[in-house]
Amino acid sequence: MDKLMHSPLLWMTLTLVAYQAGFWLHRRLGEPILMPPLLWSLIILITVVVVGKVDYQTYFQANSFIHFLLGTSTVALAVPLYQSLPRMKTAAIPLTITLIVGSLLGAGIALALASMAQLSPSSVLAFATRAVTTPMALGIAEKIHAPLALASAIVIISGLVGAIAAEPLLKFVRNDIAKGFALGLAAHGVGTARALQISPTAGAFAALGMSLNGLLTALWLPSMIRWWLS
């Protein structure tokens, strides 16, 4: 029994069941926009972990294979990126301008608001990486000595916020390219998953926005933080 409590068999199955149950619940409840499947899956998992007094490290380690696929998927994003290349070229200038605005705003607003709200210095730092996809955010957070768990939670939850708000807030946007690109920029991985549901075009441009934003932000943010702290 004790062996089972530490086994991938139990905890990976739980994650998969929660993932499926999220979709099932979402459908049963009439597909409410403000409660996407991922949120249900999370609620189920967190409830089990908290109520069952499961050690998070145990849960995480048992799920390391699923977590590993996050990295493989990041690599795989090169494929939709490549496939969107012809369209990317025809709109290169608008995309570049939006990317620069998005990268600066994404980190800038988060940092400014966090210091205005008088959060503790380490919480402020954790906000610096808000706009960047999780694996990259953790890479940057390490470089600027921000608390990793908080940084990753902020990235994921703000991704959820963006994904949830996409439908009501982006109604006025006509072009799927603009919807997708903005989702990738502002809500990274979760936003990309959401954009893929809108249309393949939106998904491809979300992947583009997410990866370009990650790259660009990784280049300017660490030196900016060093300057800001000095």
Residues in 117-176 at the binding interface with another protein, rule: CB under 8 A: 117-120, 123, 127, 130-131, 133-136, 138-140, 143, 149-150, 152-154, 156-159, 161-162, 165-166, 169-170, 172-175
3-state class of 129 per DSSP?
A: coil
Q: Which region, judged by CB under 8 A, interacts with another protein, from 1-9, 27-35, 55-63?
A: 55-63
∠ CA 178-69-87, nearest 5°, is 25
Tell which positions 193-212 bind another protein, by CB under 8 A: 193, 196, 203, 209, 211
Torsion-angle region of 32 (φ positive above 0: left; ψ -120 to 50: alpha; else: beta): beta
Please report how close the Cβ of residue 7 comes to another protein at its closest, in angstroms: 15
Q: Which region, judged by CB under 8 A, interacts with another protein, from 1-9, 25-33, 46-54?
A: 46-54
Residues 170, 181: Cα–Cα separation, whole Å: 12
Examine residue 33 and tell whether it contacts another protein (CB under 8 A): no
Residues 6+ apart with CB under 8 A from 21: 40, 41, 44
With respect to another protein, which residue has the nearer C-beta, 29 or 69?
69
Q: How many Cβ atoms sit within 10 Å of the Cβ of residue 118?
A: 8
Q: Which region, judged by CB under 8 A, interacts with another protein, from 1-9, 25-33, 44-52?
A: 44-52
Please report how close the Cβ of residue 176 comes to another protein at its closest, in angstroms: 10
Examine residue 26 and tell whether it contacts another protein (CB under 8 A): no
Which among 104, 147, 106 has a CA at the least distance from the CA of 125?
A: 147
Please report how close the Cβ of residue 113 comes to another protein at its closest, in angstroms: 4
Amino acid at 109: I
DSSP 119: -
Contact status, residue 166 vs residue 187, Cβ threshold 8 Å: yes
Candidates 40, 41, 84, 216; binder of another protein (CB under 8 A) is 41
Binding to another protein by CB under 8 A, coded x per residue (else -) over 79-118, reads xxxxx-------x-xxx-xx--xx--xx--xx--xx--xx
Q: Which residue has the tokens 């990976």?
A: 12
